[in-house]
Structure 1
Amino acid sequence: MAIELPDELIRLQTASDGAWAVVREAPSDEAYATWRDRAAEVQAAVTAYAAEIGEPRNKVEAALKTAVRHPAPPAEA
């Protein structure tokens, strides 16, 4: 069964990935701090959501990263 991910988790992971892109483009203490903060927010949200739906945290995290980094193409109507 596929894990249904709330929009908030998608938003948080997207923000974290965006912050990491900034670190890669222009590393600085501020960029790293922002990325660490975003990553911590994702981890806390994933942990809470996994507990809420009764799934292992690592399964939720993997589904989230796949959904954000490798989205499925839109279904044809």
Structure 2
Amino acid sequence: MAIELTDELIELERRAWVEQQAGALTVDTAVAVQAAITAHAEATKQGRMAVEMALKKHVRHPDPDE
């Protein structure tokens, strides 16, 4: 089963990734991403780790065909 990701979740992770690449990731951003991942996983009845892994892959290693 494919993990479904929301636009809001993707945008939060993109923001965190940009901050991380710049060496400027804030605690607030990291906490916001983790809270959103947890809430999404619970709402969709998916594993939190599976959601996080799919999200990171989507943002950091996008499929060029999408």
Q: Same fold (TM over 0.5)?
A: yes
Query: Deviation of residue 18 (structure 1)?
Result: 0.9
Q: RMSD over aligned Cα, in angstroms? A: 1.2
Q: Which runs of 5+ in 2 are unaligned?
A: none
Q: Which runs of 5+ in 1 are unaligned?
A: 24-30
Match for residue 8 of structure 2? 8
User: How many residues are aligned here?
Assistant: 66
Q: Which fold has the larger relative contact order, with Cα–Cα distance below 8 Å and residues 6 or more apart in sequence? A: 2
2:63 match: secondary structure: coil
Match for residue 28 of structure 1? none
Aligned pairs for 1:18-37 within 5 A: 18-23=18-23, 31-32=24-25, 35-37=26-28
Query: Deviation of residue 7 (structure 1)?
Result: 0.4
Which has more radius of gyration? Answer: 1
Query: TM-score if structure 1 supplies the norm length?
Result: 0.79
Match for residue 69 of structure 1? 60
Percent identical:
47
Q: Which runs of 4+ in 1 moved over 3 A?
A: none
Say which structure is richer in helix: 1
